[in-house]
DNA sequence: TGTGATTGTCCGCTATACGGATATAATATC
DNA sequence: GATATTATATCCGTATAGCGGACAATCACA
């Protein structure tokens, strides 16, 4: 962050990464979180030498941070990571404030109610609840890219401009034929989302569902999460249902923002 | 694990821990998951030199694995750990099989229904759902020791004997005046739990709640999790309610075991 | 503005872990 | 079932990452 006072290499170039081993291990964990699989594929995916990879995996598995299927030799995240990671939501002030409102919104039949946060380049659900039968796999634990789905788009719409730039310049995966992948179109959509204050998408994540989402702000007018309602595609296509869901969703999001100290009215546009 | 073929130090003593840095970092993370706090306290708690600690914390925070309160300098688990850890439950076969049964059990008013797993020395909830108002903070994310609460006790009762020995020889914290802490008493209780097939506890975790739990087995007759119902203390003290809750709880646990390939009858005692 | 408690940084030495090479095991191919 | 191919496991000399003692900068409280 601060410019190096004495630069060995003259040019103030690289921030000189420290604790390489640790970083590698954590990258391996994160990579496996996204792409569980065999040792080789992971080594390849991360461009690591086999020996190094093997050592790392071995140690992480021994510690219970990774789990390994003995038949297929496929690695996935282990229980100890859940143990650690779960404490993040346990002490989460936004989630704490949100819970009662989310539970209230659960009364809506056929809707999954979620509180979603951005973690780097993905939207991750902190909480998920629904009235009757489950209609989607989108409970907590699943994560989605930011350019598809109303949750991702809302989080992106209110993110810092240079983050948006860097995100849109990366690979934009197409999950269904209805997923937007053109950066220009996405930017237009984000502007629209900002101006109307919410996002709605249909079938761009899973073919049979749609969703709508609205931002949650804190007292500093900064986005800290979003509320997302997921329902069957047909429900959202039905104007009456759609109106009903939208209204509850907006009210829920706003209630949470207010509980966090945000006050309506003051500059929605930064 | 395997005896070293060429032992520098002669005696085949230590298993020669590798990747020290990585292990340290993960221990730090785990320690902070349990005791969030200031840098010094963590360094002290883990017996690390200050410089080392500082480096480690700095790197982990920079990566988003730790979060740091700028006012108080207190560290806690960061969002990226949740991102990684959450994928553990997303691909969890037991949870997958259990969900429908857990949701069904939610119909019981005033009861929180959980699926709980053991991770080393703690009971961690994988899933948690409830009918109406929340009566306890025991959603996912919280973790409890094994010698208190019906969930912990069930998990302990069916654990490997030498694990039980090692657990009971450690520090047994007393959460309320009703928490058992005498190893001998606990052992007797565990035997009772094994013979009756479930555990019930009152006010030994939180003063105003009680809970009951039963084991979930897989096809190999091995415990893989437990189902736990938490309710207000008064509900469990009421014989009629208690019977009702117990019955549903046992049915739920058994249904899940069966869905995992377990068959009733065959040797409950190992 | 002083004193102790806490956090931040430097740098030389040493133990650590990297990675090429080689051995074994598992899986595909014919 | 024999051979080719791919995947996993282990060894070991060397370069280098990172440890930790010491010192510097802040903060917290009076």
CA gap A133, B164 in Å, rounded? 39
- Find and list the nucleotides of strand D having atoms within 7 Å of a protein beta carbon: 6-12, 17-22
Q: Is the CB of A120 under 7 A from strand C?
A: no
Number of neighbouring beta carbons within 10 Å of residue B12: 10
Question: Given an 8 Å threshold on Cβ–Cβ distance, is A122 in contact with B90?
Answer: no
> What does the pLDDT average to over A61-71?
91
Q: Is the CB of A21 under 7 A from strand C?
A: yes
CA gap B156, B102 in Å, rounded? 22
B90-102 exposure pattern, b = at least 16 Cβ within 10 A, e = fewer: bebebbebbbebb
> What does the pLDDT average to over B203-213?
94
> What's the whole-number average pLDDT of chain A?
87
Question: Given an 8 Å threshold on Cβ–Cβ distance, is A33 in contact with B83?
Answer: yes
Contacts of B82 in chain A (CB under 8 A): 85-86, 88-89, 119, 124, 126
> What does the pLDDT average to over B110-133?
87
> Mapping DSSP to helix (H, G, I), strand (E, B) and coil, where does residue A82 land?
helix
CA gap A125, A122 in Å, rounded? 10
What's residue B11's pLDDT? 37
Range with the lowest mean pLDDT among A3-17, A177-191, B48-62, B177-191? A3-17
- Our measurement of CA B55 to C1' D21, in angstroms, reads 15
> What does the pLDDT average to over B82-94?
92
> What does the pLDDT average to over A13-27?
78
**Chains A–B, number of C-beta pairs less than 8 Å apart:** 168
Q: Is the CB of B5 under 7 A from strand D?
A: yes
At A10, the pLDDT band (50, 70, 90 cuts) reads very low
- Our measurement of CA A154 to C1' D15, in angstroms, reads 48
Residue B185: its H or E element = helix B183-196
Is pLDDT above 60 for B23?
Answer: yes
Range 247-266, chain B: CB under 7 Å to any strand C atom: none
What's residue A132's pLDDT? 64
- Our measurement of CA B6 to C1' C13, in angstroms, reads 27
Contacts of A134 in chain B (CB under 8 A): 99, 103
Q: Is the CB of B174 under 7 A from strand C?
A: no
- Our measurement of CA A161 to C1' C24, in angstroms, reads 53
> What does the pLDDT average to over A124-148?
75
Is pLDDT above 70 for A19?
Answer: yes
What's residue B16's pLDDT? 59
Question: Given an 8 Å threshold on Cβ–Cβ distance, is B19 in contact with A18?
Answer: no
Question: Given an 8 Å threshold on Cβ–Cβ distance, is B86 in contact with A85?
Answer: yes
Q: Smallest Cβ distance to A76: which of B65, B91, B99? A: B91
Question: Given an 8 Å threshold on Cβ–Cβ distance, is B33 in contact with A82?
Answer: no
User: For chain A, how far is it from start to end, CA to CA, in angstroms?
Assistant: 25
What's residue A139's pLDDT? 62
- Our measurement of CA A22 to C1' D7, in angstroms, reads 26
- Find and list the nucleotides of strand C having atoms within 7 Å of a protein beta carbon: 6-11, 16-21, 27
Identify the residue among A37, A62, A82, A117 best suited for mutation to test binding to B, counting B beta carbons within 10 A and taking the highest: A82
Is pLDDT above 90 for B17?
Answer: no
At B134, the pLDDT band (50, 70, 90 cuts) reads low
Q: Is the CB of A2 under 7 A from strand C?
A: yes
What are the tokens at B77? 């688990």
Percent of chain B with pLDDT over 90: 74
Contacts of B26 in chain A (CB under 8 A): 25, 63, 65
Q: Is the CB of A150 under 7 A from strand C?
A: no
* pLDDT tens track for B36-48: 999 999 999 999 9
What are the tokens at A1? 């962050």
At B266, the pLDDT band (50, 70, 90 cuts) reads low
> What does the pLDDT average to over A95-115?
90
Model pTM above 0.85: yes
CA gap B81, B212 in Å, rounded? 31
Question: Given an 8 Å threshold on Cβ–Cβ distance, is A59 in contact with B25?
Answer: no
Percent of chain A with pLDDT over 70: 89
> What does the pLDDT average to over B113-130?
90
Q: Which of B139, B121, B122, B142 has the alpha carbon at shortest distance from B130?
A: B139
Across all strands, nucleotide nearest B20 (CA–C1')? C16
Distances B259 to A155, B126, B213, B226 between C-alpha atoms, Å: 39, 18, 18, 14
Q: Is the CB of B58 under 7 A from strand D?
A: no
What's residue A129's pLDDT? 82
The distance of A126 to chain B (nearest Cα, Å) reads 9
For B153-206, give the secondary structure using H, E and C. Answer: HHHHHCCCHHHHHHHHCCCCCCCCCCCCCCHHHHHHHHHHHHHHCCEEEECCCC
At A146, the pLDDT band (50, 70, 90 cuts) reads very high
* pLDDT tens track for A202-216: 999 999 999 999 999
Q: Is the CB of B38 under 7 A from strand C?
A: yes
Q: Is the CB of A48 under 7 A from strand C?
A: yes
What's residue B98's pLDDT? 94
Contacts of B117 in chain A (CB under 8 A): 79
């Amino acid at each position: 962050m601060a410019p190096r006072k004495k630069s060995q290499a003259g040019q103030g170039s690289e921030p000189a990464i420290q604790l390489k081993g640790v970083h590698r291990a954590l990258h391996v964990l994160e990579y496996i979180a996204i792409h569980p699989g065999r040792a080789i594929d992971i080594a390849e995916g991360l461009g690591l030498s086999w020996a190094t990879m093997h050592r790392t995996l071995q140690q992480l598995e021994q510690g219970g941070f990774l789990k390994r299927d003995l038949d297929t030799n496929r690695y996935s995240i282990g229980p100890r990571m859940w143990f650690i990671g779960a404490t993040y939501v346990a002490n989460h002030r936004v989630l704490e404030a949100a819970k009662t409102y989310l539970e209230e919104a659960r009364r809506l039949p056929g809707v999954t109610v979620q509180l979603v946060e951005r973690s780097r380049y993905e939207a991750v659900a902190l909480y998920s609840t629904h009235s009757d039968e489950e209609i989607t796999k989108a409970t907590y634990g699943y994560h989605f890219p930011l350019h598809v789905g109303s949750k991702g788009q809302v989080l992106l719409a209110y993110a810092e401009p240079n983050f948006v730039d860097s995100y849109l310049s990366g690979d934009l995966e197409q999950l269904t034929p209805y997923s937007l992948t053109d950066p220009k179109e996405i930017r237009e959509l984000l502007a629209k989302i900002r101006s109307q204050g919410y996002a709605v998408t249909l079938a761009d994540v899973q073919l049979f569902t749609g969703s709508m989402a609205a931002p949650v702000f804190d007292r500093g007018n900064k986005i800290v999460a979003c509320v997302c309602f997921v329902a069957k595609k047909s429900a959202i296509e039905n104007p009456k249902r759609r109106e009903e869901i939208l209204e509850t969703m907006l009210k829920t999001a706003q209630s949470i923002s207010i509980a966090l100290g945000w006050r309506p009215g003051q500059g929605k546009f930064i």
